[in-house]
Every structure is written in structure tokens, then in C-alpha cells.
Structure 1
Amino acid sequence: MQSRQGMPGPLQGLDLAPLYRDCLLDSRERRETYDVIAGELCDYGLQWRGGAVDAKAYRCRTGRLAIYSMRYGDEVTITPDLYRDFLLVHVCLRNGIELDGDGETAHVPQGGVYFSAPQRRIRLRWQEGCEQVIIRVPYGLAGIEAGTPLRPGAPLAAGLAPIFSSQLNMLLSLARQPEGLPGLADWAAHAEEGFARFAALHLRADPAQAAAALRSWDPAGGEASERDGSERHADRRDRLVAFIESRLARPIQLDDLTRAVGVGRSQLNDLTQQAFGCAPMALVRRLRLQAARRDLEIDPDQTLTQLSLRYGFEHQSRFSAYYRRLFGEAPRETRGRLHGAAPATGTGRSG
């Protein structure tokens, strides 16, 4: 993955080092790659060309933005769910992509930046070895209201690469600063909104509307409505967690979650991204893993096969991989630690 050195073309000032501190994925398996990416962003169709898989993904979250670095290795064709209430920013670090949004095709080369918000159809083809930074921007943060006419996509305006790089560098740096500095959170929120509105400018169909949106931006306004929104957000969050925890041993589908909370899929995804930093089904997996860990701590003598099946994981190897990613140790290591000794290699129960 790239940081400042070797950054292509007009993005030479971009410093991605803060992004590469949280590795989400390092895999050569297609299924694991799909599961992790879908859990972070949204459900999508994924077609591999047939080459070698060399997938890697990193994540950095600010308060309301999710910033990722991703690669698949092989050439892939992706057909994601439609973007209902967010836009994506694509930054091609290595090789390029082809996007088909609402019938308009765009080729984004290495070093290119593209803003995407299709409403009817989206298809992306990543070249072999393509590596991208992807930024998920909620419409609300960008000042885009329901029904606002948007272009399906647009490249970064000529000459604005230094501004874009400066804004992204600031967001990444702020996300990694220690808490405690007075006023830092307010400044970070201001920087987030500035970046989001900068992205939205490229997609507004009416230039006059874009100018009006900037003039109407009041970073200090809307405090009462924000409080009301925060209360609704907390209520939905609590209902969602209560529903999942009541069904940890039973199958859960995405539509079950939307009905439990009373929102659509896109709103649910926004809720879990903001409250938990992940997609809805990734939250289900996380809560199941946390419950499995508590169960194992209570009864370390149970088999790991029984434990994984009890919480909906049909494949123990995948359960162990998810467990290690979340807790930093395998289930067998947890069990060995609870027994008061390091887990033996090649001995004991296989689980």
C-alpha cells in the first residue's frame, strides 16, 4: 500500500500513512474477501476474472466519514446496491477503474479522483492490481436533501487536486489524534462537513444550486434538530442491539433488522456505520463473537465446534478467523489462557 512516497500524478502531496494503521483484511480467499468488504460497505455482486486473489483493506473512521484503502489483486467486476443516501469518492492509487453509473461510463486512471452517486444502476470494473482509496460520504453531511437532482458521477475538477489532498490529509490526521484536546472534536466535525460539501459540489446538477448550498452552510446552526436526531438515533441503536442479542442463536437476515428498527436498508446501514463503525450484518457477527467469547470464558471445556455452531458459524475455520480478527487471539488461545497455561501445539482437543 502507498503512503506519501510514489503517489501518482497530481496526488503527490497525499499522505495516507495514518490510514494504514487498521488492517481489516489480508487474504487470498475469495469468500473471506467478499464477506469483509460487504460487511464494511454494502451488499454487492462480485465477479472474479480468474486470476490470483491478493486482497488487502485498511480503514480509518472520522466521526461521520469512513475512509478505506482496498485492493482485490485480480480483475473484478462489482455491482453494488444502489447508493440511496450517500456518495462515494474513488481515488485510484494504482491502475484504474471503469464505472457505469445510470448509463454514463467513466474511465478513472491511476492518479484520478471520481465522485459517484448513481440513482438507478452502478457497475464497476477494477483493473488487475488496482488499489483505491474509497470514502463514504452521507448525504446529510454533504448538505444534500431528498430529491436533490445529482449527476451520476463526475471527476475532480481541474486544478483542485492540491485542495483535495490537503483536505483528505487533514481528516486522516485528525482521526488519529489522541482525545482530550479542547475543541478538537468540533474542529474535526467542521473539517468533515467541509470535505463532504466539497465532494457534493461536483455532483450537483445545477451550478447555481451548488453555489446556494455553499452560501447556506452554517456550521454552527441546527443544534436543536441535531439533538432531536441524536435521540432518535440512540433509540434505534438500542432497539437494534436488543433485537440482535435476543436472536444470537437463530438466523438473522438484513430485512429482519430493518423491520426491528423501522427503517430502510440504507438508513440502517447509516445507523450502524455511525454508531458501531460497521455494516449491519457485520454488527450481527460482532455481537455473536462477543457472546461466544463470554460463553467460552464461562465454560472453557466445551468444544469449539459446539461453540461456533451455537452462535451461527457453520465453519469453524471461519469462526476462528473472525474471532482472531476481533479479539487478537484464536478461540483455542483463549481457552488455553483460561486453563492457566499457554495453548499447546498439536495436542489437546481439536474442538
Structure 2
Amino acid sequence: MTLSTKSEALSALYRNCLFRSDNAADSHEHVARELSDHVLHWKRGVPDTALFKVQLNHLRIYALQYGAEVEVTPQPFDGFSLVHTSLRGGAQIECDGTVMSVAEGRTAVLSPQRSVRLRWSPGTQQFIVRVPDALMLEVAGRAPDDELDLVPGRLLPQSLGSQWDLITQSLLNIAAQSGSGDLRREWSDHFERNLALFLLMHQPPQAAPAPASALESAEPAHYGADTRPHNGGAKQMEVLLEYIDSRLCAPISLEDLARVAGVSFRTLNVMCRRHHGVTPMELLRNIRLEAARTRLLTESACSITDTALAFGFGHLGRFSAYYFARFNELPSDTQKRRQRCA
């Protein structure tokens, strides 16, 4: 079952409300104490902050909402990573130069070294797991004083979403059990280590989420040769989708896609047609159309024009035509449907 605000597994979390407040100063103080010191700017809407928490052997699990639209700028994390899953609404996250659009149901892994900024839409609620570096080092068989070489910010591929949900719901189910006996702690430790191992195993290559400036300086020969993908290009396809997800609101060229996948233009085209039935740029456009649709369905204050521009559609008429061809309705029809359901 997909993790959402209605998931039964979250009941253990919702039973432990650390605080609820409509005061901006109180909200900042409580969240900073639990997660990370940060600057908090309130935007549209009325504050309705609530923070829920479950403490496990190594992990802290939270559900957090602000009610209003907010912009959060934390300090770089010291000794931990945060994993954000959007239970309701969505967020834009910039992490060490990588920009991610975290739609409802998607998960972002954050390990910033320089800077991180999060902008939450009104009504957003996030499921957050605080993962200490010490646990990751232990699982990796490294010394406690070693440094982890983690990708600063990445979206978890949709293909891994069900596995992530299963691990987190298992932990929540353990937390819901009464008592604190050795058996419960043993199971909790098992799933906590599995979670850390899952994050380490599925970390993409550092080159995949690199900023555009780094990609533009790469040697053209890297993607000029006809490098044939192994296993039908499944691994290259996963890296490619991860890259697209991490830069939905940033320019991406065909050269960028070939370079990230490590294949020639011809092989890239064959790979995308084999796995998705479309050309590389059509795949990019479809993924951005899906993100635009999610925003129109979940964010009441967004305009069609702003949404089109945010995802790289500079011509509104063409955006509407692409949108209709993809979803058999105009963007305005989607907005009206959301208003009827509100």
C-alpha cells in the first residue's frame, strides 16, 4: 500500500504529537530542535503546524505540516541525512545546486554538504526519516570516523517506491507494538539496518544528478561513441530517469541525456523506444507533463501559465496541445476538476 496521510501504518506516528501550533515562532523553535537549525519564511496561507514523532533504536521518524506555504533554509546537515516523502501536496527542493520537484507520493533523499532550500506548497505534509551517518557507516562496514560519499540530493526512482513504502511501514508497525522487549528492539534494528542498506545500495552515480555547469564541461567524446547498454539498457534507463526527475525545472538537452546515460544518440534513441515507446525528448516531455498535472491537481493557487513555464513549456498554446494529447483534457479542465473535488 502506498504511503499516504490515510495509511493505517501512520497511526503509531499520529498518536505521538510533539506539538501543534498556529504561532510562527513556536513552529520554528520546535522543528529546529528536532530536525536542524534553519531559517523559516512564511508565505501564503495560515500557519497550522503539527509535528509527530516516533523514536526507534537509531532512526527518528516524523510527520510534519506547516499549513501555509513556507520556504525553509536549513544549515548543512551534521552527521545525518533526511528522507522526505510527500504524503500530501508537494515541495520544491534545491540541494547543493540540484533542483527537485517532489510531487505527492514521491521521495527525496537529502545529504547536503553546502546548502539546501525547501519550498512547501500550502497544505503539504511530509513523512521524514532522519538517518544518522553512524548507522550508514556501520551497515557499510566502515569505521565510525570515516566520511560517507553521498549524493547531496536525489529523487528516489518511482520503480523503488513500493520497496521504500514496505520498509517504512514495517518500521511503523514495529513502533506500534506495545512494550519495549528485546524481540521488538531486535526487529526494529533489523528493519532500520535494511533501510540504511536500501539507501546505500540505490545511491546513483555521482555524475547522474550533477548540476548543468558540470555537465557542460564534460568531454563530448563521452557520448559520441556507440556504447551499447548492458541488459537492454535497464541500468542506463534508471540513471536517466533519476537525472530527469532531479532537473524537472531546469534545462535539459539531448546531449545532456546522452552524456548522463553514457551512450550515443542512436543508442539513447533505441533505449528509450525499447523501454518507453518514445524518443528521448518525448520521454522528457511526458515526464514534465506528468509533473505539471500533479501540480495543477494539488496546488490550488498555481496558474496554468506559471506551471507551464516552471516545467520548461515556453509556449502556452503548445503546452495545452501536448497536455490534451497526453491526458485527453485541457489544463483548465484539470483545474476545474480539482476545484469540484475540493
Q: Report the TM-score, using the length of structure 2 for normalisation.
A: 0.54
The one of 77, 81, 103 aligned to 1:109: 103
Identical aligned pairs, as a percentage? 32
Query: Deviation string for 1:181-209 (max 9, x for gaps)?
Result: 553322211111111221233436469xx
- Whichever residue aligns with residue 164 of structure 2, its letter is F
Q: 2:278 maps to which residue? A: none
**Structure 1: stretches of 5+ with no match in the other structure:** 208-351
- Tell me the distance in 2 between the aligned counterparts of 1:97 and 1:202: 22
Change (3 A) 1:172 1:73: same
- Tell me the distance in 1 between the aligned counterparts of 2:3 and 2:150: 34
- Whichever residue aligns with residue 196 of structure 2, its letter is A
1:99 aligns with 2:93: yes
Aligned length: 201
Query: Deviation string for 1:152-199 (max 9, x for gaps)?
Result: 112223322221111111111112323365533222111111112212
1:103-252 alignment to 2 at 5 Å?
103-143=97-137, 146-179=146-179, 181-203=181-203, 205=205
Change (3 A) 1:13 1:39: closer
- Whichever residue aligns with residue 65 of structure 1, its letter is L
The one of 79, 86, 97 aligned to 2:80: 86
- Tell me the distance in 1 between the aligned counterparts of 2:124 and 2:90: 6
Query: Deviation string for 1:186-240 (max 9, x for gaps)?
Result: 2211111111221233436469xxxxxxxxxxxxxxxxxxxxxxxxxxxxxxxxx
Q: 1:53 maps to which residue? A: 47
Query: Deviation string for 1:229-287 (max 9, x for gaps)?
Result: xxxxxxxxxxxxxxxxxxxxxxxxxxxxxxxxxxxxxxxxxxxxxxxxxxxxxxxxxxx
**Does the 8 Å contact 2:63/2:126 carry over to 1?**
yes
Q: Which moved more, 1:113-122 or 1:147-156?
A: 147-156
- Tell me the distance in 1 between the aligned counterparts of 2:206 and 2:83: 20
Query: Deviation string for 1:300-331 (max 9, x for gaps)?
Result: xxxxxxxxxxxxxxxxxxxxxxxxxxxxxxxx
- Whichever residue aligns with residue 56 of structure 1, its letter is A
- Whichever residue aligns with residue 68 of structure 2, its letter is D
Change (3 A) 1:204 1:139: farther
The one of 4, 8, 22 aligned to 1:7: 4
Change (3 A) 1:180 1:88: closer
**Does the 8 Å contact 1:149/1:205 carry over to 2?**
no
- Tell me the distance in 2 between the aligned counterparts of 1:6 and 1:82: 27
Q: Report the TM-score, using the length of structure 1 for normalisation.
A: 0.53
1:21 aligns with 2:15: yes
**Does the 8 Å contact 1:52/1:73 carry over to 2?**
yes
Q: 1:228 maps to which residue? A: none
- Tell me the distance in 2 between the aligned counterparts of 1:57 and 1:155: 23
- Whichever residue aligns with residue 84 of structure 1, its letter is D
Q: 2:63 maps to which residue? A: 69
- Tell me the distance in 1 between the aligned counterparts of 2:128 and 2:8: 14
**Does the 8 Å contact 2:2/2:162 carry over to 1?**
no
Deviation at 1:47, TM superposition (A): 0.5
4+ residue segments displaced more than 4 Å? none
1:264-275 alignment to 2 at 5 Å?
none
**Structure 2: stretches of 5+ with no match in the other structure:** 208-342
Deviation at 1:98, TM superposition (A): 0.7
1:42 aligns with 2:36: yes
- Tell me the distance in 2 between the aligned counterparts of 1:27 and 1:105: 30
Backbone CA RMSD of aligned residues: 2.4
- Tell me the distance in 2 between the aligned counterparts of 1:158 and 1:149: 23
- Whichever residue aligns with residue 77 of structure 2, its letter is Y
Deviation at 1:105, TM superposition (A): 0.5
Q: Secondary structure at the match of 2:158?
A: coil
**Does the 8 Å contact 1:18/1:173 carry over to 2?**
yes
Change (3 A) 1:184 1:96: same
Change (3 A) 1:38 1:13: closer
**Does the 8 Å contact 2:106/2:161 carry over to 1?**
no
